[in-house]
Amino acid sequence: MNQTAILESISATEPMLPHPAIVSAVRPEAYGISTFSLEYADPTLATGFSPGQFNMIHLPGFGEVAISICSDPRTPAVMEHTVRYAGSVTRAIGRLKPGDTVGLRGPYGNPWPMDLVEGRDLMIASGGIGLAPLRPVILEALHRRNSFGRILLLYGGRTPQDLLYTDEYERWLNGGIEMYVSVDRADETWKGQVGVIPMAFYRTRLDHRRTLVFTCGPEIMMRFVIYEAMARRIPKEAIYVSMERNMKCAIGFCGHCQLGPVFICKQGPVFRFSAIEPFFGREEF
Ligand SMILES: Cc1cc2nc3c(=O)[nH]c(=O)nc-3n(C[C@H](O)[C@H](O)[C@H](O)COP(=O)(O)OP(=O)(O)OC[C@H]3O[C@@H](n4cnc5c(N)ncnc54)[C@H](O)[C@@H]3O)c2cc1C
């Protein structure tokens, strides 16, 4: 390979180069789930992100994973990532402590369409760790609450101990977010609702002419939410989903995250439901 070809291949791979970032805080959320605050060592790299976008977190010797940015878009210098310890990379992230360094690149992906929500109602339906990519939507909505109509949050976890961001719920409620939090299995500490998210949805009144739906969570939950929304005459074009698939490059090179004709990393992870309906629910292989 001549010098030019080598330089070309370096510049072609540069978009995938992770940059050092410092772990500035670690906050346990639930069993096997913590939130990691990351700050670029070179602060000029923190150029901002939009709700729903994700970063690639790289740990030398383990690999790289896609993780949603779950913090306030108005403080881009400190980006929070809630990580569930699922496999080798996320378990290694789980061992990080404040002061440790990781590789970081991003932000990537198509965000939630916040501009479309202005002046309309929004129903957020999420389950488990699916609340992570929707938390920036809530935080942004709190900043300019008067720009939006009703904001409803339906959120479900398996048990009370599995719920994320519980210490923020009071602030969200006081900021004008209507919240319906439920668990599949209650214990003696739980004073809230018991049941899956679709049950909470059945009890919710919505104006189909002005409501947008944002949903993220287990695909079975999203399927119920989408079909119940459509049964309420909310158009497919007003329903947005965030999809997760096994992801490698995050920039549309490798095809690992392909869903039918679309790449989740480039055209997603947030999609208008009508754009992916034929492929929704299709198994990864
Ligand atoms: C756009 C996007 C945003 C994401 N945001 C978050 C986030 O905020 N927090 C978080 O904890 N995770 C998130 N993930 C998922 C995370 O990237 C994967 O769980 C990651 O592969 C775990 O890597 P690992 O090496 O630890 O486990 P692996 O060894 O890769 O996987 C462990 C197990 O999880 C399964 N798995 C891997 N990836 C997925 C997936 N995407 N969906 C379902 N099952 C999977 C594998 O098949 C395997 O059974 C996101 C993924 C995408 C694509």
Question: Is the minimum distance from the CB of 245 to ligand 1 under 6 angstroms?
Answer: yes
Tens-digit pLDDT profile for residues 131-188: 999 999 999 999 999 999 999 999 999 999 999 999 999 999 999 999 999 998 888 8
Identify the sign of the CA torsion 68, 82, 39, 14.
negative
Residue 151, SS3 per DSSP: strand
DSSP annotation of 134: G
How far is the CA of 151 from the CAs of 67, 141, 179, in angstroms?
A: 25, 8, 9
Taking the CA of residue 84 as reference, the ligand 1 atom at the shortest distance is: 11
Which of 244, 254, 263 to mutate to test ligand 1, by most ligand atoms within 8 A of the CB atom?
244
Residue 162, C-beta contacts closer than 8 angstroms, at least 6 positions apart: 30, 31, 128, 183
* CA 273 – ligand 1 centroid, Å: 22
Question: Is the minimum distance from the CB of 90 to ligand 1 under 6 angstroms?
Answer: yes
CB 83 within 8 A of CB 34: yes
Taking the CA of residue 63 as reference, the ligand 1 atom at the shortest distance is: 25
CB 201 within 8 A of CB 224: yes
CB 86 within 8 A of CB 94: no
Atom 45, ligand 1: residue with shortest CA distance: 246
Question: Is the minimum distance from the CB of 68 to ligand 1 under 6 angstroms?
Answer: yes
CB 226 within 8 A of CB 241: yes
Tens-digit pLDDT profile for residues 263-281: 888 888 999 998 888 777 6
Question: Is the minimum distance from the CB of 270 to ligand 1 under 6 angstroms?
Answer: no
Atom 9, ligand 1: residue with shortest CA distance: 83
CB 102 within 8 A of CB 59: yes
Calpha distance 188→5 (Å, rounded): 66
Of the chain, the end-to-end C-alpha distance in Å amounts to 35
Q: Which of 27, 9, 19 is nearest to 80 (CA)?
A: 27
> What are residue 215's DSSP bridge partners?
125, 241
Residue 35, C-beta contacts closer than 8 angstroms, at least 6 positions apart: 26, 27, 29, 70, 80, 81, 82, 83
Tens-digit pLDDT profile for residues 73-93: 999 999 999 999 999 999 999
How far is the CA of 1 from the CAs of 4, 6, 12, 72, 141, in angstroms?
A: 8, 6, 15, 46, 52
With cut-offs at 50, 70 and 90, classify the pLDDT of residue 7. Answer: very low
Give residue 277's identity as a one-letter amino acid code.
Answer: E
Question: Is the minimum distance from the CB of 247 to ligand 1 under 6 angstroms?
Answer: yes
Phi, psi (5° rounding) for residue 69?
Answer: -85, 120
* CA 86 – ligand 1 centroid, Å: 7
DSSP annotation of 284: P
Question: Is the minimum distance from the CB of 33 to ligand 1 under 6 angstroms?
Answer: no
Question: Is the minimum distance from the CB of 248 to ligand 1 under 6 angstroms?
Answer: no
pLDDT at 10 over 50: no
Tens-digit pLDDT profile for residues 199-226: 778 788 899 999 999 999 998 899 999 9
